[in-house]
């Protein structure tokens, strides 16, 4: 529930416009791996994306993972566990974003808990519970919601996915431009001879994404991608590279708007299996 709504009237019109323009963004957090590959990854298996893009992928992660991601005014961290001693594959995540406004600082935070399990042979299901908080300079909103994901892997090198985000519906008290929307997304993942991976994702919010990964050797990966939000007329070109060693993985990603020079994102991730 928000604090008294009357305080919203105290915000100048130009500040509200600034909020609308600068806080609208994708509903899910992208690791540098998915960001470099056009925002795709719902049918892939990555420690940095399982808790954010599709919780069902947790069943394919083996062992423990500590993941952290850093971008300008963004921070994310997850701890996942799919060890033999654990009852269910589990991940605990935290995301924080902030923006400086003329009236002060806007903050978004998300505490999440994900659980997954095989529903049938080659079919996995996952559920993520979210505690969301939106902090404007003079008002705050809070919401509990959840995501439901499915992943089907008929072959080790092929994956299909379906995810429903914010299954508990939309909170109409939250400003429309930052309100988490109930969205359906689908994904496809294909690995060719352990050398190239193709990714395709799409959402009911008219977002279309494609990504390509190439494995230079056992440790170095390059990534390229394209994303198009046809509703908002926002096109992104993405690229990145990563090192994946036995003790840690380090990944860099760049996303840039093809039409607006100031709309870009750099991010760096650290992943530690243990």
Instruction: Report the pLDDT value the prediction gives residue 104, as an integer from 0 to 100.
Output: 81
Q: Is 122 left (phi over 0), alpha (psi -120 to 50) or beta?
A: left
What is the 3 state secondary structure string of 189-235?
A: EEEECCCEEEEEEEECCCEEEEEEEEECCCCEEEEEEEEEECCCCEE
What residues contact residue 198 under an 8 Å CB cut-off, 6+ apart?
A: 188, 189, 190, 192, 210, 211, 212
Q: For the chain, which residues score pLDDT lower than 50? A: 1-25
Spatial contact of 36 and 250, defined as CB atoms under 8 Å apart? no
pTM of the full structure: 0.86
- Angle at alpha carbon of residue 187, lines to 263 and 36, rounded to 5°: 35
Instruction: Report the pLDDT value the prediction gives residue 162, as an integer from 0 to 100.
Output: 98
Instruction: Report the pLDDT value the prediction gives residue 26, as an integer from 0 to 100.
Output: 56
Spatial contact of 39 and 203, defined as CB atoms under 8 Å apart? no
The 3-state DSSP class for residue 152 equals: strand
The 3-state DSSP class for residue 17 equals: helix
User: What structural domains does the chain harbor?
Assistant: 5-273 (2.40.160.60)
What residues contact residue 268 under an 8 Å CB cut-off, 6+ apart?
A: 32, 69, 70, 71, 250, 251, 252, 253
Residue-wise pLDDT for 23-48, tens only, equals 444 578 999 999 999 999 999 999 99
Residue carrying the six token digits 């566990």? 81
């Amino acid at each position: 529930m928000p604090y008294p709504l009357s305080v919203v009237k105290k915000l100048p019109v130009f500040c509200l416009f600034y909020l609308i323009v600068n806080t609208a963004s994708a509903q899910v957090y992208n690791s540098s791996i998915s960001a470099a590959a056009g925002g795709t990854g719902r049918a892939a298996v990555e420690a940095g994306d399982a808790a954010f893009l599709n919780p069902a992928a947790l069943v394919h992660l083996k062992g423990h993972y500590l993941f952290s991601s850093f971008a300008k005014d963004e921070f994310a961290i997850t701890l996942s566990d799919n060890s033999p001693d654990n009852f269910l594959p589990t991940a605990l995540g935290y995301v924080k974003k902030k923006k400086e406004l003329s009236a002060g600082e806007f903050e978004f935070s998300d505490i999440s808990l994900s659980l997954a399990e095989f529903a049938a042979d080659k079919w996995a299901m996952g559920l993520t519970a979210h505690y969301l908080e939106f902090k404007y300079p003079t008002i705050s909103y809070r919401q509990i919601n959840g995501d439901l994901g499915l992943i089907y892997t008929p072959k080790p090198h092929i994956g299909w996915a379906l995810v429903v985000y914010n299954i508990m519906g939309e909170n109409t008290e939250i400003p429309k431009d930052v309100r988490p929307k109930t969205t359906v997304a689908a994904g496809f993942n294909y690995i060719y001879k352990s050398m190239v991976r193709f990714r395709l994702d799409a959402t009911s919010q008219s977002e279309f994404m494609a990504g390509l990964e190439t494995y230079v050797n056992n440790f170095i990966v390059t990534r390229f991608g394209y994303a198009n939000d046809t509703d908002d007329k926002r096109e992104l070109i993405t690229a990145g590279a990563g090192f994946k060693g036995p003790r840690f993985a380090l990944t860099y990603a760049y996303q840039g708007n093809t039409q607006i020079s100031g709309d870009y994102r750099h991010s760096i991730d650290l992943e530690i299996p243990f």
